[in-house]
Structure 1
Amino acid sequence: MSAQVSTQPEGSGGAVESYRAALRRVGAAEPHRLPGYDELVGAEGVHPEDEMLADTIDALGPGGMRAKAAEAARYVSSDGITYGATADGAQARNWHIDPLPTIVGSAEWAALERGLEQRARLLDLILRDVYGPRRLLRRGVVPPEIVLGHPGFVRQADGIALPTGQQLILAATDVARSADGGWVVFGDRTQAPSGAGYAMATRRIVARTLPAVHRRTSTARLRGFFHTVRAALLDSAATNAEAPRVVVLSPGAGSETAFDQAFLATLLGFPLVEGDDLAMRDGRVWMRTPGADQPVDVILRRVDADFADPLELRSGSQLGVPGLIDAARRGQVSIVNPMGAGVLENPCLLHFLAPISRDLLGEDLLLPQPDSWWCGDDTDRQHVLANLDRLVIKPLSRDAGTSTRFGWLLSASERDELAARVEATPWAWAAQEPLPESTAPVVTGNGIEPRRLVLRTFGVAHDDRYAFLPGALGRVAGEAEQDVVSNNAGALAKDVWVLAGRDAAPDWSERESAAEPAAPALAAGTLAPRMADDLHWFGRYAERVEATARILSVVDDLTEDYAARPGSLGAIAMESIQHAVTMVTGIAPQQRTGTGLDYTAPDQWATDPEAHLSLLVGEESTPGTLAYAVARLVQCAQRVRDQLSLHTWPVLARLEQTLARAGEPNTSRRDTLEAVLESSLALAGIVQQSMIRDATWAYVDAGVRVERAALTVELVRATLAIERSPVIEGQIVEAVLQVGESVITHRRRTSAGEGPSVPVQSALHLLLVDRANPRSLAFQLDRFSEDLRLVDDPQGVAAGAAIAMDLPELDVETLGATDRSGLDRLLVDLRGRVDALANALASQHFRRKGPQGTQLTEWTFSQSQRQSQSQGVARG
């Protein structure tokens, strides 16, 4: 689809008419590629439900629409919406959203929903049969090899059933338009369906980007669906607990859909956990905590079945829980979707759904599918091989070491290779007619451009029926000529607005959500060790970012004033603070060469302070720099996204954007550091003013207190534990107190004759022993003890209090006297005791599980092998 809307003059209106002209040009130039339906305009003009949207497009014009696309991108960045992951686990890219919604009429959606509901019921019946009597296989309705040979078929899950009527609790169906505009199904997602969280996040962005259109359009709301999912999960509990405990099991922050998992957990109000957070004991699954472990009744599984139980499945997996299948077999935990539900994600099965529907439901499929062929049938295979150049060829499973192939995109040699693979294992391949798919308008740099569109719909089983999200996650091709629409291929997300009829009753999921059973909240001190650890380091890195920005800001000012005046009093103070920066960050200012550090050359503080300051601010790969601390802060936040306020993400986004611009020409380092400090203070305000004083807050605050205590001691030792002349010391004290945000108090007290009159003694009092100063060591220790009371750690409370009790006994006049060796020894001791507090906290609260795995003995292997073979014969 190569046509672009670029003929309309900027700002002159008529963007929709230009879009129609583009569609006509595509039809004339590439009739074989033209879809038969467009989501905005038809043969008679703009679709009635799209008239308001079309008016908005014309009113804004190409420039206005590009501004809306940029606005949506800013919102995405601000909210921290990401997709994909890099090899080191960092988030790869922002979610891409097109600001123009796709609008579906209420009657049309109702018809689609009926077809989706029938399909969900059918898939549920197939799932029950496959892991039960297997009548479909015995009677030849479905060839056994496409079920028993599918990687998603989990033999160990045979006979395991949820206590609910349906076994398929969550269903996602991918649909697109046929040439006549009807909806056609081209795939199902049943293993661990993803995307519902992205659909809600996309709705929030588009509603903010086009607020007037959204308010004036009677659009069905999405929130009720998540109430229904929550109720369905609580009702699926296998145990008789009055308040079942539900967790969302995630592969971790390195997962490409980590945002979707965390946001879904937030919408549902259930904790997001990883395999490290769960343990098996007495046949039950428990959530590990520093105190008493908590029993888990329901697991919403976002880990693929193959990785979910290293005892019975993939032995090397670190993502699951050993013994999970056995716990489900014993009825001690419900797993949603059930282990083995991925067998339904089977393109070979699609070929047989029509006869299966007539067999199990006595009904024809309401939603059509593309014509398909199963290569295990000789006639079908010959047809596929004869038409490889125009069909979509799909392997039995996406896990089969290959991917879907589009015949018209393959070279002759690639088609020959594919034909050979099909001939070698014909039962493992299927083919489909390509779907033309509809087009939808997308905002591009060239104007409004038609792109191919697919939708992912979401359903949930509850009370013997299926409810559906009144909308979908729309995706449009990332490039004009792309035939493949997928997130991995750079697709953009589309919000899907389903119009609510004027007399429509509230969605049943919303009506019944008020009656759902309550889920128990996590009690204080019951966070899993992995969560507590990440929260603690979130606090530590937040403080490290602020402290690093403060000290770099002070040294930047001093360097600007005195770098060109060596030997002056100010230059000596500058050198002292530069030394403190080296001590606090751990980054030696040696000259850098192409192969590393040159330790024989003069350090960069003396030769090129500007270059060294730039490295300390913006070099993300070097531990100790400001950019490094910001990157680690964001990573910690990503791992505990469901525990943090939504207001956290705009602040973190501003931090990342500020550091990303730090190396650009004409960017002031002072402005960069000021912006970082503003964002750091905003983040601190969110933590202090928006977080409930429970275990979550306690671990974050304890991280802040430990980090600030350690950095304060290190700063004082690097600057004030060295004897200097009173004049020089006065300037150094001023600089140190600026870093410690205490200089105003020092000046006020000195002017009023309060406190020590000698500057160094005043600084020692303010930064070490003054309990009223939120920057002092004493204040940090007091708060640390309060934090540990919240997580029921009396030993930690006592350890923090013991150090704090010694501080009032410090004689700042003696310590600030001529001989500073006593001060140096004291500060070394204090730093060691603070580090011991941090180590004890980690040992007591953050203890992770060791690497898990299984080792089969010869006996167990032979027994399991014989059992699998006997089941295959008896049940296949």
Structure 2
Amino acid sequence: MSLLRDYAAAIAQPTLPLHLQDGSGARFDEVVGPDGALRPAWKGMAAIAVELTPAELERIDIEITTLLADDGVTYGNPQAGAQPWRLDPMPLVVDAATWARLEVGLAQRAELLNAILADIYGEQRLLSEGIVPAAVVFGHAGFTRPVARTTGFDPHPLVLSSTDLGRDAAGEWHVLSDRVQAPSGLGYAMANRRVLSRVLPELYEQAGLHRMEPYFSAVRSALLQAAPVGVEDPRVVVMSPGTLSETAYDQAFIANILGFPLVQGEDLVVQDGWVWMKPAGFPQVAPHERVDVILRRVDAEWCDPLELRAGSKLGVAGLTEAVRRGRVRLVNGLGAGVLENPGLMPYMPAICERLLGEQLRLPSVPTRWCGDQDQRAEVLETLATEPDAIIIRRIDGSAADLAALASDTLSRLILAEPHRYVGQERLPLSQVPSWGDAGRASGRANPSQVALRGFTVRDGSIYRPLVGGLATLVNDRKEAPSTKDVWVLKGTPADPDQGIVEVTALPLTRAVPVLSPRAVEDLFWSGRYAERAEDLVRLVITASTHAEQLDYGPTTGGGAALRALIGSLQRLCGTRWLDSDLELRSLLLDADRAGSAAHSLERLRDTLEGVRDQMSGDTWRAFGSTDRAMRAMRASRRPQIAESASRMLGGILSLQGVTANMMRDDGWHAIEAGRHLERAMQVCTLLAATATQSLGVGTDRAVLGGVLMAAESSVTHRRRFRGSVRVADVLELLVADPDNPRSIAFCLARLRDHLSQLAGSTGSTRPERLLEHLEEDVAAADIAALAVSVEGRRPQLEDFLAGTHSHLYRLGDAIVHLHFAAGPQPQPMLLAEITGLRV
């Protein structure tokens, strides 16, 4: 059964249940023409496309889900947290002729938006001549007064923009909205392309479409060109609101692919009117740490707690003044949000003729601004007679904010503050075949409405649209939207990708990478969480192995060894279950249980999200392995705990391979310092729970055998001590052996090496002094005395381990305080506390 052929047949016969029946009239279908034949964009791929069966599409859909998870592609939901990104396996395909017309319209739209922005914050001709009502502009939350009418305002303020588009029933494109404040989605579009090209290689190769890679080179060039006049070697950063942002993945992807640091507001500081990256030695700064261009993903009102929003921790105090002085360029500028204003749409044709001297090529969806009496009357009449035909929006809010309100309530809101509302006709968006949940259930493609987000960059003196984009299936879901890759076919095979023959050449200089204290701290904790997860999973594997051995019959000391190992786990994570199987399962899977493997992996993922631009893509494949192992364990009624834990361990260990290939900078040294500090602490906890009691020769032998297995030192012990398990030998191996990577002495030596490489270390800092003292204590430890048992206990060993663990804890705090604390946290300024301020 051919999925595409069945879809085409059903679309050509409106009586079939597959056809959209929502009362909205006919829709333009992106795949099938009115005669039931495939549209030109699909005809060249028909031989392969029509052979796709439901079974094959289901397999492809599973591969897409797996690849997206392995790449760590997520979309943030404010209520539910990070959600898996959703990609439909069937692309949106656009032929060259159709795209050529759309491309001209997108370029004009970007040029027009730039001209509007320059005028609103400059001469304000549109307002003074009455082309645009003043209330449309000044009543919008995106109008940023501190940068209006200033001599330093940029004449070309718009560098990047995106536009949401939809087709009407006749197939004509209309602008649904403009995104210029912090336009997102370009990273997601590239992620979609990478995945779909891997799961549909034959279709991808035959299509002859434009590759996206050259466009990112143009974006990088545009950001470097955006630097203030006179800057020869500009430093560009991507400023993110943090890992809780809905589009955190998109921000990190852009930073990574462009090669610019991903920073947060706390990583930057304004001094002497310039913006600087905070180094580890802040408040001292160096010339190469000055920031010249900020690609911001933080909304303007949050960018400066001094002038824009008091108390904001997402921005940089003094940033607005640095912008006014022309010492830093924001992309896009602080006032760009005013363009995301549907109140401007009714006036766009007149604006285009006034500012560009041209007719508007891409019409907006029909919109009426309620601040105008005649337009308001039309909106209220439509709302009363045909409420389903109109969408009410605030000029600075989304349609979803008002979607649940009744018509009479909306009318009252409009009459109370008419200038704050618009009414937009409900456009019958075009439809595309989609798979999704309904497709899996029915075994066929179903039509879904689709919107297209186009992207534009200022490349030199022109605006260049991305040949492609991000397509979104329109639905009422609250989780991550389902998207499609956008394939724009070339007119001829010889056409250059993206129409770019050569990117604007810029002087090539070697950049000096700088990591902020916040980024280095995230990496330090990632090393700790990775080690914590690894050591706990090893302990669970060892305990589970002992439990399985007991199931096959009693073993000498086996029960005591199991209790000791579980006791060690419970020292780390507390006690939740008395049943050993349930307890071990909980220790692996319960993310809300502090110290569990799932909890540590969740924290590890969070810390690495904050430095995603520093990490290889293989990092997220490691998480994909652990996630699949945990899902399989949850789904199994009688899981093999040791087997599932081993698969989790494989994913965790692969992270070590990822970090092994990192540059030997502060970030790598911080990871390794965190890893060895945590390993030393874990060895102390393991030994304190298992070796401080003497339970008899046979039982001690079983317990210590488990300790060696959990500490990955069984093979070394057998080769060195010929199989005889004695307390003194185990302590020698795990406490004092300088060559055993699992010993406390080895971890302290490596910690010293990495700590000495961090910026701020001088040889005499508090962390280095604490570490030196700790190394001396471990070196002076009398292993034979520690192994002595007195009435069933080893008191000297207890005191030694407790003291060492406490010392390590203080050492960790000292490292954080010296190397990662970049001054005091910002505090809100109260007027009463400021003396000499004239109001």
Q: Give the structure-2-normalised TM-score.
A: 0.92
Amino-acid identity (%): 36
8 Å CA contact 2:550–2:558 kept in 1: the answer is yes
CA distance in 2, matches of 1:112, 1:777: 65
Task: Give 1:621's match in structure 2, choosing from 584, 592, 596.
Answer: 592
Q: Which residue is 1:554 aligned to?
A: 542
Matches within 5 A, 1:250-329: 250-291=240-281, 292-293=284-285, 294-329=289-324
Query: Given residue 418 of structure 2, which amino acid in structure 1 is its aligned partner?
Result: P
**1:748 alignment partner in structure 2:** 719
Give the gaps of 5 or more residues in structure 1: 1-9, 592-603, 865-876
Whether 1:214 and 2:204 are equivalent positions in the alignment is: yes
User: In the alignment, does 2:799 pair up with 1:825?
Assistant: yes
- The separation in 1 between residues aligned to 2:783 and 2:725, in whole angstroms, is 10
Aligned to 1:471: 468
Distance, in Å, in 2 between the alignment partners of 1:858 and 1:554 is 60
Residue aligning to 2:390? 392
Q: Which amino acid aligns with 2:354?
A: D
Structure-1 residue corresponding to 2:459: 462
User: Does the aligned pair in 2 maintain the 1:328–1:334 contact within 8 Å?
Assistant: yes
Contact kept, 8 Å, 1:695 with 1:791, in 2: the verdict is yes
Q: 1:759 to 1:814 in 2, by over 3 A?
A: same
**Does the 8 Å contact 2:669/2:754 carry over to 1?**
yes
- Structure 1 residue 761 corresponds to structure 2 residue 728: yes
- CA separation of 1:259 and 1:758: change in aligned 2, threshold 3 A: closer
Counterpart AA for 1:694: D
- Aligned CA distance change for structure 1 residues 560 and 429 (closer, same or farther; 3 Å): same
* 1:20/1:781 CA distance change after superposition, 3 Å: same
Q: 1:713 aligns with which of 679, 684, 687?
A: 684
Kindly report which structure 2 residues correspond to 1:474-513, keeping only aligned pairs within 5 A, or say none: 474-478=471-475, 488=478, 491-502=481-492, 504-507=494-497, 510-513=500-503
Correspondence for 1:659 among 610, 627, 630 = 630
Measure, in 2, the Cα distance between the counterparts of 1:477 and 1:116. 21
Aligned partners of 1:162 and 1:238 also within 8 Å: no
Give the Cα–Cα distance (whole angstroms) in 2 for the partners of residues 860 and 380 of structure 1: 51
Distance 1:30 1:813 in 2: 84
Amino acid at match of 2:305: P
- Residues 624-703 of structure 1 aligned to structure 2 (within 5 Å): 624-664=595-635, 665-688=637-660, 690-703=661-674
Distance 1:329 1:711, change over 3 A: same
Cα distance between partner residues in 1 of 2:19 and 2:779: 87
CA change 1:141–1:241 in 2 (3 A) is same
1:186 matched to 2:173: no
1:368 aligns with 2:339: no
Distance in 2 between residues matched to 1:151 and 1:216, nearest whole Å: 48
- Give the aligned partner of residue 453 of structure 1: 450
The more displaced of 26-35 and 795-804 is 26-35
RMSD over equivalenced CA pairs, Å: 2.7
Per-residue CA deviation, residues 152-187 of structure 1 (Å, 9 max, x unaligned), is: 000011135778652111111111112221222121
Answer yes or no: is the 8 Å Cα contact 1:160–1:328 preserved in 2.
no
- Seen in structure 2, the aligned counterparts of structure 1 residues 564 and 253 have a Cα distance that, compared at 3 Å, is same
- 1:17-166 superposed matches below 5 A: 17-21=8-12, 25=16, 30=21, 32-44=23-35, 45-87=37-79, 91-160=81-150, 166=156
SS of the counterpart of 2:471?
strand
**Contact 2:181/2:340 (8 A) holds in 1:** yes
Residues 560/812 of structure 1: CA separation in 2 closer, same or farther (3 Å cut): same
Task: Tell me the amino acid that sits aligned with residue 816 of structure 2.
Answer: A
Equivalenced residue count is 816
Shift of 1:809: 3.8
Q: CA deviation at 1:511?
A: 3.9
Call closer, same or farther: CA 1:770–1:862 in 2, change over 3 Å: closer
One-letter amino acid of the structure 1 residue matched with residue 735 of structure 2: L
Amino acid at match of 1:184: H
What is the aligned partner in structure 2 of residue 779 from structure 1? 746
- Deviation, structure 1 residue 232: 1.4
Pick the aligned partner of 2:427 from 432, 435, 448. Answer: 435
Displacement after TM superposition at 1:837 (Å)? 2.1
Does structure 2 retain, via aligned residues, the 8 Å contact 1:651–1:682? yes
Matched letter for residue 703 of structure 1? G
Q: Tell me how far apart the structure 2 counterparts of residues 662 and 862 of structure 1 sit (CA, whole Å).
A: 63
* Partner SS state of residue 330, structure 2: strand
Contact in 1 for aligned 2:530/2:604 (Cα 8 Å): yes
Say which SS state the counterpart of residue 150 (structure 1) adopts.
coil
TM-score normalized by the length of structure 1: 0.88
Question: Judging changes above 3 Å, is the alpha-carbon distance between structure 1 residues 501 and 619 closer, same or farther for their aligned structure 2 residues?
Answer: same
Aligned equivalents of 1:12, 1:421: Cα separation in 2 = 48
CA distance in 1, matches of 2:554, 2:151: 79
SS of 1:60's partner is coil
Shift in Å, 1:748: 1.2
The aligned counterpart of 1:173 is 163
Point out where structure 2 has 5 or more consecutive residues left out of the alignment: none
Aligned AA (1:46): L
Structure 2: how far apart are the matches of 1:373 and 1:178?
18
Deviates more, 1:839-848 or 1:354-363: 839-848
Counterpart code for 1:307: W
User: Distance in 1 between the 2:6 and 2:262 partners?
Assistant: 45
Residue-by-residue CA offset, 1:40-61 (whole Å, 9 max, x unaligned): 1102410122135444343221
Question: What is aligned with 1:874?
Answer: none
8 Å CA contact retained: 1:393, 1:431: yes
SS at match of 1:467: strand
Give 1:577's aligned residue: 565
Deviation, structure 1 residue 341: 0.4
Matching residue of 2:519: 531
Tell me if the contact between 2:589 and 2:596 (Cα under 8 Å) persists in the aligned partners.
yes
Work out whether residues 112 and 355 of structure 2, in 8 Å CA contact, stay in contact via their aligned partners in 1: yes
1:334 Cα offset (Å): 1.0
Structure 2 letter corresponding to 1:778: A
Distance 2:749 2:504 in 1: 43
Aligned to 2:377: 382
Change (3 A) 1:220 1:137: same
Distance 1:240 1:800, change over 3 A: farther
Code of the residue aligned with 1:855 in structure 2: it is: L
- Name the amino acid aligned to 2:575: A
Answer yes or no: is the 8 Å Cα contact 1:384–1:391 preserved in 2: no
Q: Does the C-alpha gap of structure 1 residues 100 and 19 become closer, same or farther in structure 2, counting only changes over 3 Å?
A: farther
Tell me how far 1:857 sits from its aligned partner.
5.4
State the alpha-carbon separation in 2 of the partners of residues 217 and 302 from structure 1.
Answer: 34
Q: Are residue 337 (structure 1) and residue 332 (structure 2) matched? A: yes
Is the CA contact (8 Å cut-off) linking 1:40 and 1:47 kept in structure 2?
yes
Aligned equivalent of 2:820, options 829, 842, 846 = 846
User: Which of the numbers 745, 752, 755 marks the counterpart of 1:788?
Assistant: 755
| 1:197 partner SS | helix
Tell me if structure 1 keeps the 8 A contact 2:242–2:264: yes
Alpha-carbon distance between aligned partners in 2 of 1:766 and 1:722, rounded to the nearest angstrom? 18
- Quote how far apart the aligned CAs of 1:797 are: 4.9
